Structure 1
Amino acid sequence: MSGYQPGRLSWRHLDQEQAQALWVELIDWVEWFRGCYRLTDRIKSCWYRHPKMVEELTAAMSAHKVAYEQLAEEAAHSWSPGSWHYQVYMPLLQRLAVNSDEFADCIDGSCEPPKVEVRLFDGVQEWIAADIAARPTPIAAAVAATGSVGGSTAPTIDAAQMVDLIDSGNADPVDADDEFGPVSYDGHVWQWSDDTEAYVRT
C-alpha cells in the first residue's frame, strides 16, 4: 500500500535493532502473562518458535499496555482494563481452547494456586540471535524502503553511518589508505560526494 508506514510491532517489517527491542519487550510481557494468568498449559514454552503465536501475543501485549498506561487527565483511554479482559483476553482464551477448570485450585474460599515455574526451552538466545542476524541492518532497511538516506535522489549514506558499517565489518574501503575513498557495501561501491556530503551508491 502506497504511503504505508509500518509501526514498531509489525514483525515482518522490523530491522535488527527494532526486532531485538521487541523480542526483549515481548518475552518479558508473555512470561509475566503466562505466570499471572496460569496459561503455561496453553501457551507452551516454545511459543516464540511459532510465528502465529508471536503475532497473537504481540497484539495482546499491545492492547494490554494501552489499557493500563497512565495518561494525562484530559486524555481519553481507547482501552480500559475491563475492556481488555472482555475484548482481548476472553477471545484469546477461546482461541487457546482454555479448559473450564481455570479456578480448580480455589477450594472453600481459599485461593492458593501452586507456584508456576515459567521458563523457555534451552536455545532461545540462539534462536533469537539467528532471527536478528537474518534481518537487514537499519541502514540497509532504510535504503531498501526509501531508495535513499538523507533525501537525495540516489541512495546515500552519511559519513558517520559509513564509519559504523566499516567498524562493524559490514563495509570495506576499496583503498584502506584513502580515508574518503570508495567503499564496498551491500554489493555496491559507494563514493564520497562533496555535493551531498555523503557516500553515494555508484
Structure 2
Amino acid sequence: MEHDPTFSVISVEHVYTVLDSRWMAIRTTHRFTLEALQRSRFFLRSYTWDNAVGIEKPPIILSGRNQSGTTSHRIQGPVILGEKGKRLAVVDLGRVFEKGEQEFLEIEHFFVRTRPDDSGFVGHAALPGCREITLRAYLPARDDLRPCFKSGYTETKEWKHTEPLSSAPSATSPRLEVKHKVPNPVAGMRYRITWDQNRSDT
C-alpha cells in the first residue's frame, strides 16, 4: 500500500462480511479516522481486489452526510486500476483540511467472487501515525474455520507472529464473528485475520 502524503490514518476498522453460503458475495466496510499532514481535501484510498472474472461494484461513501441528507464526501472520478488488482480511489472530503485537523471517513465495497480461494483474510498495513487497527469478519458458520491472527513486515511474505483466534455467534446475523484489535501497531508491519473458506455449494 502506497503512502498517502496528505493524510495519516490515525485509526481504522476493516469489516469483512460474507453474504452467502457459497462464499461468493462479499461486503467490506472501512472506517478511517484521518489526520491532515498538510493542507489538502483529497484522501488516497488504496486497496486490492484481484479477481478478474468476478464482479466489482464502485465504492460507496457512507460518511460526510449532513442534516439535509446530502454528503460532503465523494469519490473523485473513476477508481484507478493498477496491476495485480491494485486499486486507488481519490476521495474528496468536501473541504480543505489544515495540517492537524481530523476527519472520519467510511467506505463500503461490494464484490462477487466466481471462484473463491481456499482461504480468505482481512487486514491492514500500518503506516506512520497509525494508533489503532480493528479487524472484524462475519463468516458463515462452520466447524473448521480455523481463524488466525498474523503479523509481519510489509517487505517480506513471511509472518513474524501467528496465533489462533476464536469465533463467536454474531449478535446481529446468523454468522460467526471473528475479531482482533491492534492497539499500538508498528509502522511497516501488516496485520491480518485469516480463515479457511468453504468452496462447496452447501
Q: TM-score range, shorter-chain basis?
A: under 0.3
- Compare the two structures and name the one with the higher strand fraction: 2
What TM-score does the superposition give when structure 1 sets the normalisation length? 0.22
TM-score normalised by L of structure 2 = 0.22
Higher percent of residues as helix: 1
Larger radius of gyration: 1
Higher relative contact order (CA 8 A, sep 6+): 2
